[in-house]
Every structure is written in C-alpha cells, then in structure tokens.
Amino acid sequence: MSAVLAEAAEPRDATAPAALLEAIGLGRRFRGLAAVDNVSIDVRVGEVHAVIGTNGAGKSTLINMLSGELAPSAGTVRFGGDDVTRWSQPRRARSGLGRSYQRTTIFAEFSVLENCRLTAQASEPRPWRIWERAANDARGIAVATRALAAAGLDGDAGRIASTLSHGAKRQLEIAMCLATAPRALLLDEPLAGMGAEETGRMLALLASLKPTHAILLVEHDMDAVFKVADRITVMVNGQVIASDVPERIRNDVAVREAYLGDGH
C-alpha cells in the first residue's frame, strides 16, 4: 500500500494537462461515521478515471459531493480552476459538470426527444418568454438531436421514454447529460443491469466521449473498468487505498487483498 501511495505522489509529467475536476482532502461524516475520509482525486479531459470499491466504500457519497448534491464536511472541490465547494448542484451543472445516476432517472412519461430538449433548456432557460412554445424550441431540439445521435438513439426520438429497453434508458440518461454540453461527466454505474451487447455499446460511447470530456466512472463491472479506464482509484471504507494505471492496480497486493480477490 505504501509503495502505491508513494508512486501516486510522484510529480506528474509536466506536459500533462491540468485537472479539470479536482477534489482535495474531501471528507463527509454521517453521525460520526466517516463515509468518505480525506479523499483526493482528479480527472483530466481526455481520460476515464474509474473509481472502484465494495458497496459502502463511499463511491456514491464521493460522486454526490463532486456533483454538489451533498455538502462535504471537509475538503475542497475545484472545477475548471474555480473553487466550487460552496456552489449548488444546478450552478455546477450549468458550468459544465454533468452526472448520471445509478438508478435510471429519466422523465419516463416524456418523449425521448423531450427528455434531452428539457435538459438542454437548462443552459438557456429564458422562462419568462411564455409566449414562445417549448415544442418549437429550435435550439433545444437541435442540441437534443445531436445528443441522441451521439448516444446512438437517433431512431427513438419520438418514443415515450418509459417504453425503451433498460439499456436504451441508460443510453438516454447519458444523452440527457450530453445535451447540457458538459465538460466533465460523473457516471454512477452506467453499466448496471446491462447485457453484454449493451455493455459493449456503452463502452464504445464512453470511448467516443473521452477525447473531449473528463470522465469519472464509478462501476462494478471490473472487466469493463480495466478495458476503458486510464486510471483507477480504489476505495475501501471511505478511504483511497490505491490510485494508479490499470496494470499496476491489477498487481497491487493491497488492492487484491481488500477488493479484487486473488482469483481475479
């Protein structure tokens, strides 16, 4: 463990781009229990940074603090050079921090297109223009159509979202996120409950988004994580026990003991 930490602390390549999203010493206590304890993590544009760990390791709490849904008890969150620790979630979202949820959270009764048009509306809401029809919102529809195409849902724009398959709903969730034009994506188990084919499609989507986005991925599917991640951070009991490139995580003794299991 100490070896891994020492390596992670080495100064980075000077040519590496600065982190877009960065947490420094982040902590959150629930009634004295440290759900997340002194976690520092960063994500750069052009990389997928995966966070793995058992249930209760604090991954969701971490994502909620990064997205602004949960106020940290300690530490700082920086996004695009700003200290956003005190920013509300909507404000962070408007400045380009998008997230998806572990449980599918789409607007089930709206059309697929309206799901994305509505999230696209957040960046130019103009709510007082009540004489303008949302159905004729050309900018929103254009943004939504592009987001649906990027997520591979072009053919489903007119369907009611609740009628989509589970995998397509997860894709829609990403499309809704993309429609807000985010610079960073916080993805909470986007592969949960997906079949092999759907997983392959989602991983291809993540790969296509990587060059232009900073992606923080919380995921349980280890095969997928090792396939797609550029860096992996391992959490146990609210703490980071290792953070490195996939090959070294795979061979880290502490990680194997704590999480992966020797058979992996």
Partner 1 sequence: MASDAALVDAHAEVGALPDIGRREAGGWLVPAAAAVALAALPLVVSPYAQDLIVRIAIYAIFALSLELLVGATGLVSLGHAAFLGIGAYVTVLASGDSGASLALLVPLAMGGAAAYAIVVGALILRTRGVYFIMVTLAFAQMAYFVVHDTKAGGGSDGIFLYAKPTLAIGAQTLLDLGQRLPLYYTVLVMLVLTYAFIALLLGSRFGHALAGIRVNEQRMRAAGFSTTPYKLAAFVVAGALAGLAGLLLAVKDGAVNPELLSWHESGAVLLMLIFGGIGSLRGAVLGAVAFTLLKELFQSEALLGSLASHWQLTLGLTIIAFVAALPRGLIGLGARVRDLARGRAAGASP
Question: Residue numbers of the site for partner 1 (CB under 8 A)?
Answer: 67, 69, 88-91, 93-94, 98-99, 101, 105-110, 114, 118-119, 121-123, 125-135, 137, 140, 176, 180
Say what angle helices 166-178 and 196-209 make with each other, to 10 degrees. 10
Burial class (CB in 10 A: 0-12, 13-18, 19+), 202: buried
The least distance separating partner 1 from the CB of residue 179, rounded to whole angstroms, comes to 8
The least distance separating partner 1 from the CB of residue 94, rounded to whole angstroms, comes to 4
In DSSP notation, 197-221 reads HHHHHHHHHHHHHGGGSEEEEE-S-
Q: How far apart are CA 70 and CA 57, in angstroms?
A: 16
Q: Which is nearer to partner 1, 132 or 247 (CB)?
A: 132
Q: Which is nearer to partner 1, 6 or 130 (CB)?
A: 130
The least distance separating partner 1 from the CB of residue 142, rounded to whole angstroms, comes to 15
Q: Which is nearer to partner 1, 87 or 226 (CB)?
A: 87
Q: How far apart are CA 30 and CA 59, in angstroms?
A: 15
The least distance separating partner 1 from the CB of residue 88, rounded to whole angstroms, comes to 7
Q: Which is nearer to partner 1, 94 or 210 (CB)?
A: 94
Pair of tokens at residue 175: 């499309």
Cβ–Cβ under 8 Å, residues 72 and 26: yes
